[in-house]
Amino acid sequence: MRAGILLFPGINRERDMVLAVRQSFGTEPRIVWHKETDLTGLDLVIIPGGFSFGDYLRCGAMAAQSPVMRAVRDHAERGGYVLGVCNGFQILTETGLLPGALLRNAGLRFLSMDTMLKVERNDTVFTAKYAKGEVFRAPMAHGDGNYTADEATLDRLEGEGLVAFRYHDENRNGSARAIAGVYSPNLRVLGLMPHPEDLVDPLMGGTDGKPLFDSLAAA
């Protein structure tokens, strides 16, 4: 699997993502500047976390208008894989590649701590190396992770099995139905708020996030 990592001005977790991909894939990901438009040869497009364009408008709203996102949309339409983490998840909802929106955290404060995520299904390219119902640890670090959608959309997501992860210990940011991550209908686009890429090395406190990247590497 050939991976590319998108770089928008203000993205700041691309280095973490490079390390996680390098470790599981055994190859170097391509860094894609947001003004590029050619994603040819990439199987997986990753949008990492950070504060694209400072998040001065709605989080992810500016990045969604960058030239590269048209190419990402085409990539997704062709059935390509897309992973968006944190700001990357916000960019995917702003682009319309995933439903819903991420609002300010319920307590109106930035939240940086480990959270426990429950794997809703393990028959996707992202979660094959986890067990169904497995609970794993992932650091979160965001001010706007409060997942929201209208009731009909939430019902549809649940009904179609498109909820990827739920907060298992505590729903600190106030997300609807404790949703931490969602899939596109074809299960090839995943967005989530916490950072599995920051827990892939025992030295940093654990490897709970590694199976996600191992799953992709094996796909």
Q: Whole-angstrom Cα distance, residue 151 to residue 166?
A: 17
Applying CB under 8 A, among 21, 25, 51, 164 the residue interacting with another protein is: 51
The helices-and-strands tally (H runs, E runs) of the chain is 5, 11
Tell me which residue of 145, 87, 135, 90 sits closest to 112, measured CA to CA: 145
Q: What is the b/e burial string over 179-202, where b = at least 16 CB atoms within 10 angstroms of the residue's CB?
A: bbbbbbeebbbbbbbbbbbbbbee
Q: Mark residues 172-211: x for contact with another protein by CB under 8 A, - for none.
A: -----------------------x-xx-xx-xxx------
Cβ nearer to another protein, comparing 65 with 112: 112
Q: Whole-angstrom Cα distance, residue 77 to residue 8?
A: 22
| DSSP structure string for 179-208 | EEEEE-TTS-EEEESS-GGGS-BGGGTB-T
Residue 148, Ramachandran bin (φ over 0: left; ψ between -120 and 50: alpha; else beta): beta
- Using rule CB under 8 A, residue 13 touches another protein: yes
- Using rule CB under 8 A, residue 96 touches another protein: no
Applying CB under 8 A, among 2, 28, 31, 54 the residue interacting with another protein is: 54
Applying CB under 8 A, among 4, 29, 50, 181 the residue interacting with another protein is: 50
- Using rule CB under 8 A, residue 2 touches another protein: no
Residues with active-site annotation: 86, 195, 197
Question: Using CB under 8 A, which of the segments 54-62, 69-77, 121-129, 158-166 binds another protein?
Answer: 54-62
Q: Whole-angstrom Cα distance, residue 139 to residue 173?
A: 13
Cβ nearer to another protein, comparing 55 with 120: 55
Give, as ranges, the residues between 126 and 145 that touch another protein (CB under 8 A): 139, 141, 143
Binding-site ranges for another protein (CB under 8 A): 9-10, 12-13, 15-16, 19-20, 49-51, 53-56, 109-113, 139, 141, 143, 195, 197-198, 200-201, 203-205
